[in-house]
Structure 1
Amino acid sequence: MITTPLTLDLVRGGAELEPVGHGSRLRLHRLPLPYRSREADAQLTMVERQPSGIHLRFRTTATVIVLRLHATRVSYRGLERARGQVDLVSLDSDAPLAPIDDPRPVWVHHGSSISHGSNAAAPTEIWPVVAARAAGVQLRNLGFGGSAMVDPFLARVIRDQDADLISVKLGINVVNADAMRARAFVPAVHGFLDTIREGHADTPLLVVSPIHSGIHEKTPGPGAFDPDSLREGAARFVATGSAAEVARGALTLEVVRDLLAGVVAARSDDPALHYLDGLSLYGADDAVAHPLPDGLHPDTETHRLIGERFAAAAFAAGAPFGR
């Protein structure tokens, strides 16, 4: 068997490969080191090394290919959880593996745990991958569970990426963390888009609002685990905020959609900036036919539905990413 060194010309869709375990393993990272070490909190540190969208790409005549991984499972007491982190150990084959160029357009997408792929059964079943495959583009997935907070440094990461197409799906994490009020959210989004435009002045840029989630449509965060569900060995989420706070600027999903649409409308001098209502990807009617198992995250079938709808809305002829 031939052992092929694991490098970024074979391992696509990430930022860095970090030697760990005395160099016996390579840890996948989706954020560059300066941002990981300086600005990522514990949640983002955990999720950015979960390899959503990262894949191997090569040409070979091999009939046997063996990829060895070292898996880590992050779990909660009393709850079953799938493994979410893997380090690369080795790549072996019975014929040489050669890196190949990928001429397809690069789509950089940023979002929350839904974009990250929570509750999907496999990495190829998450909605951004479904959409990327349907559209024939390369995906760089910057979906980070619990961490789409309109952080300025994430805008700088996107600014500095090679990208032919960019989308940002914002709002749900800000709501379920009760992280901002309307007064702070609107200028934060403007600043986020301004920073992206510093590196991508004319790149098609799509702002996507949250999909339907009944718990937060009219009720602000914080979100929390439903104690009754935990006693049943499951995990469901509830909103713990008060609807009365909306009048004082608290954010709900309904409010966020209106604010994001307003931000894009106020930037009408940017012809490459577009808005997509998340309800067109998954709305109240869909919640009846395809309920979110935990109140926030789609199951595999619903990821597929969202991905197919996004591909049609974003990549079709005449759409924001249409070619």
Structure 2
Amino acid sequence: MTPSKRRFRNAFLGATLPWIIPAGASLGGLQDPAYTSLDSLEFSEVGRLGVLEGDPTQMFGDVTALSVDESRGVLFVLDRLGHRLSAFTIAGEFIDWAGGQGAGPGEFTRPVAMVSAWGSVHVVDWGQNRLTRFQLDSDNLGYAGELRLPVAGPTKVCLLDDALFLLRYQEGSGHIVHRVDQAANLASSFGSPFVEGDAFMAAATDDGLLACDDAYRRVYVVSRAVPRARGYSANGALLWDIELPGVETAVITRERGVVRWNPPPGRSTNDRPVTLVPAPGGRFLVQVQEGVWGQATDPATVARTFLIDGESGEILDESYDIPRIELFSGDLAFSRVAEPVPHVVIREWTWSRDE
């Protein structure tokens, strides 16, 4: 049953938070190329959502994705295990939730990604291979229709040039990025799989990260199977292809028709890219998590952060001291954390000018 739509003030957030900067607005000195040091990037926590018990509107099973509607200052939280899409104000006030487990209208089987676009929030349901749209009107988050996706089993989605980009290897086309219009019609496909070989090998290892930089009209892709990142123009032209230095991912082999992941030689740990986030000034962050082989790791644990120039692919800096970041919105940064309970951390960030 849908919980009461009463509003609450999250005690961690206080009364107010800084205004969100709308998409396309100037970020002042952050456009300056002097801002290239991650040591000058500072974060301070200003709030969080998520509790173990108590308020049911803040109890999450597995926060899969976050999205912000900057024009209205709304944070959307997608809960894979709870089969629920929740809407909060940036000040932490619960607005409404929608979803539920099932295959009916507005229900989810395996929600994996979402994006705010065209005044609605669109959820990619991997289990049903459909895009479900929800409309937020006042305090009501309502089902607004669904579209069958032309690409089977996409895992990530982003918005650029009034189109959606989906990440998934397709054997027929041999591409990994697919551009679809508002009616979910396939417009174009581009990008080759990171792991070469037959189609089975490519499909089994194409799990990756996808991000769109609308201000600079670029699409970024990072493989989680091999330590590589690529940049594309909005029309799919490859701009650069780089290797993330010092990142030791699993060793991937195919044995008797089965793709196997093994730890790097001589190690009981392996590295895995976990976040890909556009940052101000046409740059982006790639964050890598180190985990003990065969054991679950907290999504909040980040071993290394790379700051990369989106135009050239040049690695500008790296750091071991940056918290995991899912997205930037104005002067706020949002993270999802699994331990001790699934929750969302909201941080204010500043970037001091390099000396």
Does TM-score exceed 0.5, indicating one fold? no
Higher strand fraction: Structure 1 or Structure 2? 2
Structure (1/2) with the larger helix percentage: 1
Q: TM-score, length-normalised on structure 2?
A: 0.25
